[in-house]
A = this chain, B = another copy of it.
Amino acid sequence: MERSLSFYLHVLTARLDRAADRILRAEHNVSYSRFLALALVGELEGATQRVLAEYLGVTEPSVSRMTGVLAGEGLLDVQPDPAGGNRRRLRLTERGARLVAAGQRTLEDRLAMVVAESGVPYDQYVRYTAQLLETFDRLEREREVST
């Protein structure tokens, strides 16, 4: 196989995810998936599960199961939307918010170190990555419309 971009991205991301998982479990006793969910809820105060699923890039059943677990652990507060409809509003609990803040510091410090060590220009790489994501999303949406 001519080592392709998708393969490199796949492996790089898998390793970063696993390292993040290891660090978060060791220092904050939470998996990376759960951490990502909590971090986004922190940003999207009062989001519904559907919105969270969209931002996380996973399906609604995944979010449904995850929010159940996180609420059970006291990190997340899940309430029926007071405005009505079959909706749940999501918020971080006090503990959830502390965990997100601490975890973010830990992770960003480590990744910045790896990037610095590699010599890859951080800002440009982030820009490229975000740009690819945006293009990919747009093409996928166009594909869906045409289906």
Q: A-side interface residues toward B, CB under 8 Å?
A: 1-17, 19-20, 36, 39-40, 42-43, 56-58, 100, 104, 107-108, 111, 114-115, 117-120, 122, 125-126, 128-137, 139-140
Report, nearest first, the 3 A-B pairs whose CB atoms are least far apart: A118-B135, A13-B13, A12-B133
Which of B14, B19, B128 is the one whose CB lies under 8 Å from A140?
B19
Known: A115-B132, A128-B128. A10 touches B16 (CB 8 A): yes
Which of B19, B39, B129, B136 is the one whose CB lies under 8 Å from A9?
B129
Contacts of A2 in B (CB 8 A): 104, 108
Contacts of A139 in B (CB 8 A): 114, 117
Total copies of this chain within the assembly: 2
The CA-CA distance from A109 to B15 in the complex, in Å, is 26
B118 and A134 within 8 A (CB): yes
A12 and B107 within 8 A (CB): no
A1 and B117 within 8 A (CB): no
Which of B11, B118, B128, B134 is the one whose CB lies under 8 Å from A125?
B128
For A4, the closest partner residue in chain B by CB is: B108
B8 and A9 within 8 A (CB): no
A120 and B111 within 8 A (CB): no
For A42, the closest partner residue in chain B by CB is: B1
The CA-CA distance from A3 to B130 in the complex, in Å, is 10
